[in-house]
Structure 1
């Protein structure tokens, strides 16, 4: 039986034939936007016998391997006795400078398509044509050559022979990996309560190629309960790769630890952690071209050797390993990491590598359909993140600032900028916009001027890289590119909003409901597992995260002993904005009582920085050891803040609900014994939140809940989840807000909070805490 290896034509060509430098200097992004127009122009010239975007697939047997090769030819023109394989390339280069051998990769791709088509259609000879379409002048230049089927077969064999060592490496590794998976046991002696149930549900979901929405409290061991069954499914051929997706860098530490544990138990598997370009770059500045970066120069001449070395010697590849091998081989660490990922089994990365329409990993998702599995950690974060990914903004002031830039020989650019500037002014006047404005309609009159400006800016951006204002210009360029890209997605789930602010007028395509776009993104894999301790209420998250009719959901209860948590509620204090001045002193006394019953480290979470600082100003003279979260803390500040919990045993840390310390951190044992949560976590009232409210009032009649209540209770649950992290932890939580006593909020409490107790004053609070701590 032949060993099957599946690869796209593009990946085969680029991997075998790549050489030279990385050069991410500005190139026309507009070509992608104009690609459809290029194809249409070419198609018109040929007529009805021309077919565009033709999918081709072929199984080529070589030695003991069966290569399943597939891709899409840009166009095929069928003649009576032969055919033309047309590879279309849009360009801004002067067509006079483009010769036949302009880019060998263009010919290579077309020749592979030519071989597949000729053998499937019994053609002894076939024409291969490269068509260059100039996006500004719309002129076309073609190069055509006739090839015999035998000659094209020889070319494909030459590619396969260069790739065969990598194919053997990949196939041999899969055999080693799958053998280790078969003998792999769950890494702990026993399952925690709910852990086995979750693992079984994940395996079943992947097996059936569906999606699962999981509300799994802290302590169940969500990471291992999703990774382990996904890996087991991989060993049975049900998953080609596993993407473990996170919202924040810090949350990647947990899956890394889990993979290390499984590797220590005998698992043979290749895992990589992808790091953002700006965080892993070895150059002084992130400038990916051979002029400014020595690692970009000749990168493709050395990168395959680097991949082979790291693949043979490392199983878990993190940021430090990437940097180590990048220095050894003198290659770009970011591009190197993306290249290695093609050979990895488990990829730990940010949400945007799968969902963001601007930056998702096209090398995985554009050419082939594989059994990819997505494990979406802390899935409650994906709603706001996806709204951000699927939205786009234009700032009028940025255009205004560029107007004077383009004088003299760039008058045409200035005129186009002025036209867009006037469109902003007309919009403001005609819609009588004073501060905020919204519409269900697109302002389509912007689209053509924006596209026209892009076309004019491109030659300038290519030629004027040393201009002092270059970064400002390119920022506007990419703002336009994203805006036009998002405009293609605009439908009933969008609202167009206009804001007049101190920094100018903003026009935004706002994705209010990302569910349909997320649902489309999930088709890049065969199964997705959404999990979080705070997927409450689960129907809200299923609705917005793109649930399908056949998908599953599961709710699990906390595995920790109920008696280890004391949940107390001061539901006779209002923290509403109009009542805050009167609440400060009462809250200060409640905090002092709560933290004085037992010496230890506590976290106090507030609805805003302003509220937090006001309480701090009252408390700071009481001699307490208070640590205050600051705005815009960097990674070093954050580490120093958390280190205090290791050094102190009488710390009162002040933080903000929904901030960097209210989720994704582990302070186990005596590092944290209690938390006070002030308020119900409602997001601040804003124009955009009110847009969400109105939209969902029309569709679900739960507008306020979708915009404010549910995101707010999520912040509360996340903050409360910092207290009990292991079975040995014991801790207390105090919720302060009268709304926590209402039926509406009680229904949102998780099962383990059903034994909560109300306290009416500090004396009662102190008595209940003393009983709890003295048990």
Structure 2
């Protein structure tokens, strides 16, 4: 590793000069688009001899480091003998409100470009111009100053001197990290069966810059088997950053534990865990405004000190540690964790920080992506999460409410909401015979009305507040963004509920957009115990033909699990008539095989019906019930009850596909059996049928794509809670006659196929 630090001009000056508060008062969502539009408009006024988007780069030595500083300046203007660096900035505030003669960060950025250009052209004096453009009025303000090369040299020296402590800390750490990575041995005495193979294929995938789809059984130790080879790739110079992406809090803890285990074996690794904003916010309301929140007020004045402090003293930057330092430095813990993501070696977070276009980490430059790995845990969850991220919906009712709220308050908003409400009413009349319907294309009139609504809302929100307007503004914005993505991977459909009508842009096949959002990263590894069948997941998660596929057999012996199938119908129409038989079956099971059990039901209503019947008939049996919307603490208390070697039987009643059917690790005698009621099929509904028809049209098995694969995934996840190690033994009972059909049996793991029908 050379002693070179690569840094973009903008990142460098923002690190040194950013100041002020986090303030999430209303800001136009179209700022980025306005910025691009304004840049292009100004650049079109340049003379023929002028240049735009000029790439500039320099190496600057300071103490023991060499800084490679680069970026694109907006404009290079040539007038007579004078050269001017032009920095264009769009602003939503009136130009007369601009502080002094422009923003410190903007001057610093422009002066950095001026220094680089003057250095290589050997110019002794150069002009710097800030061009401010007001986005709504297109009014312009030019601020121009001249600098000697000597002045710029002094300025750059100060910037680099300020940045050096942070850069040196990171440089020394990465050097130590890479050395320790080379020395690191696998952090357990032996590999479990399949672990060495998985680790080897992950490493090969990284070295060859490929993607990998892995089905690896529960209990094999997937987290360490994917993280260990990734960490080894640090030492070989392949990687500089790992994202460990997961959908559930419990799997984040597993990743933190794996990182901690490697650290205990000598690895120098800094990991950060990003927790959702509403969970870590210190205030009663998540309102990021300097007047309300002391942690938002002056955030940028204090964050650099906080980063230096935590990075110098901590390796595991989990929620608890981040909160401790955030309180110490009086800064927002959520924004702090986001800033730390650009510093850490391993970032443990939700899928949406990479894949959701609305919240992804925007400051990860293409250059950094080339040395970044994505490890996507429990990747089967990304199918529906992907659909959710890339879809958007609007209802008629909020526009009607807004029309009432703004009557006599604001004519523009009132009329805009009234027109959109009227558009929905006419849609309702056109589709009077149908409660659900699809549209071939979206009416351009609606898009025009929504665009006008956005403009009116922005104008109002800049000067006044309305929670209802703000909420609808964001919804309409999301809708328009998704509208720009529409292609044959989407379906536009509507639904009527009582007097309301909704319109949804539904991303039926998220593969293309998942592929787009994951583009540029060195490698991606999608893994899960239930990534089955592999070709289906490779297809729907945006895989390519050249990707690697790996299926690892279970390391556990068949004798460790007794599998039973009870061929009862649990179809919706038969549930009432078979609930007595389920109660009898469960009681018979615990009489013959006492212990701790989890019983999973296909719906909460079905669960409650059977639960009530069971506790009435057998009041002495100890039971637990999964509550609706349980807090994290309540979930932990539920699982705490599953203690090893108890004298009495304990039955936990839970929902299939819910919080207890995935990522729960009840080792040894903490869990003795699992009963799965039904084949987990999603409820028959219009949206699922649209998925079925869409994939059938593409010559794929639409019913399997929409119902069977997602359903059986839940069954396999629930059953996977049982055997977690070589010492575990237990019983799995699958209750449904469809488990005896070939279509469903082909999806059962090999070790489940030696079953007994009861």
With the shorter chain as reference, the TM-score category is over 0.9
Shift of 1:478: 1.1
Stretch deviating more after TM superposition (694-703 or 430-439): 430-439
Deviations 1:667-720, CA, capped at 9 Å, x for gaps: 111111111111110000112111211111111321111111100010000000
Stretch deviating more after TM superposition (272-281 or 429-438): 429-438
Q: What TM-score do you get using the length of structure 2 for normalisation?
A: 0.95
Stretch deviating more after TM superposition (79-88 or 376-385): 79-88
**How many angstroms apart in 1 are the aligned matches of 2:355 and 2:77?**
35
Paired residue secondary structure (2:364) = helix
**Mapped contact 1:219–1:726 kept (Cα < 8 A):** yes
**Equivalent position of 1:353 in the other structure:** 353
**Equivalent position of 1:605 in the other structure:** 600
**How many angstroms apart in 1 are the aligned matches of 2:75 and 2:387?**
36
Paired residue secondary structure (1:408) = coil
**How many angstroms apart in 1 are the aligned matches of 2:130 and 2:743?**
65
Q: 1:425 to 1:62 in 2, by over 3 A?
A: same
**Equivalent position of 1:131 in the other structure:** 131
Shift of 1:129: 3.1
Q: 1:33 to 1:428 in 2, by over 3 A?
A: farther
**Mapped contact 2:393–2:479 kept (Cα < 8 A):** yes
**How many angstroms apart in 1 are the aligned matches of 2:474 and 2:98?**
27
Deviations 1:567-594, CA, capped at 9 Å, x for gaps: 11123x2222233233222222222222
Q: 1:578 to 1:114 in 2, by over 3 A?
A: same
**Size of the alignment, in residue pairs?**
754
**Equivalent position of 2:572 in the other structure:** 577
**How many angstroms apart in 2 are the aligned matches of 1:120 and 1:487?**
46
**Equivalent position of 1:534 in the other structure:** 530
Stretch deviating more after TM superposition (82-91 or 155-164): 82-91
Q: What is the root-mean-square deviation in Å for CA atoms of aligned residues?
A: 2.3
Shift of 1:231: 0.4
Shift of 1:227: 0.6
**How many angstroms apart in 2 are the aligned matches of 1:124 and 1:756?**
85
**Equivalent position of 2:172 in the other structure:** 172
Deviations 1:122-167, CA, capped at 9 Å, x for gaps: 6665543333332222333333344455544443332111111111
Stretch deviating more after TM superposition (55-64 or 234-243): 55-64
Is 1:586 paired with 2:588?
A: no
Shift of 1:173: 1.0
Q: 1:701 to 1:369 in 2, by over 3 A?
A: closer
**How many angstroms apart in 1 are the aligned matches of 2:546 and 2:113?**
37
**Equivalent position of 1:698 in the other structure:** 697
Q: 1:164 to 1:654 in 2, by over 3 A?
A: same
**Mapped contact 1:71–1:367 kept (Cα < 8 A):** no
**Equivalent position of 1:311 in the other structure:** 311
Deviations 1:92-127, CA, capped at 9 Å, x for gaps: 212233366231212222332344455566666554
Paired residue secondary structure (1:302) = helix
**Equivalent position of 1:558 in the other structure:** 554
Q: 1:480 to 1:118 in 2, by over 3 A?
A: farther
**How many angstroms apart in 1 are the aligned matches of 2:121 and 2:68?**
18
**Equivalent position of 2:232 in the other structure:** 232
1:73-152 map, 5 Å: 73-76=73-76, 84-98=84-98, 101-119=101-119, 126-148=126-148, 151-152=151-152
**Equivalent position of 1:261 in the other structure:** 261
**How many angstroms apart in 2 are the aligned matches of 1:557 and 1:481?**
47
**Mapped contact 2:676–2:715 kept (Cα < 8 A):** yes
**Equivalent position of 2:649 in the other structure:** 650
Is 1:678 paired with 2:677?
A: yes
**How many angstroms apart in 2 are the aligned matches of 1:80 and 1:704?**
72
Q: 1:502 to 1:661 in 2, by over 3 A?
A: farther
**Equivalent position of 1:719 in the other structure:** 718
Stretch deviating more after TM superposition (206-215 or 50-59): 50-59
1:523 pairs, out of 506, 519, 524, with: 519
Q: Which residues of structure 2 form unaligned runs of 5+?
A: none
Q: What TM-score do you get using the length of structure 1 for normalisation?
A: 0.93
**How many angstroms apart in 1 are the aligned matches of 2:471 and 2:512?**
29
**Mapped contact 1:417–1:453 kept (Cα < 8 A):** yes
**Equivalent position of 1:772 in the other structure:** none
**Mapped contact 1:87–1:129 kept (Cα < 8 A):** yes
Q: 1:71 to 1:170 in 2, by over 3 A?
A: same
2:501 pairs, out of 500, 505, 511, with: 505
Paired residue secondary structure (1:285) = coil
**How many angstroms apart in 2 are the aligned matches of 1:49 and 1:483?**
42
**Mapped contact 1:440–1:494 kept (Cα < 8 A):** no
Stretch deviating more after TM superposition (712-721 or 475-484): 475-484
Q: Which residues of structure 1 form unaligned runs of 5+?
A: 760-775
4+ residue segments displaced more than 6 Å: 47-51, 78-82
**Equivalent position of 1:764 in the other structure:** none
**Mapped contact 1:441–1:495 kept (Cα < 8 A):** no
Stretch deviating more after TM superposition (636-645 or 238-247): 636-645
Paired residue secondary structure (2:598) = strand
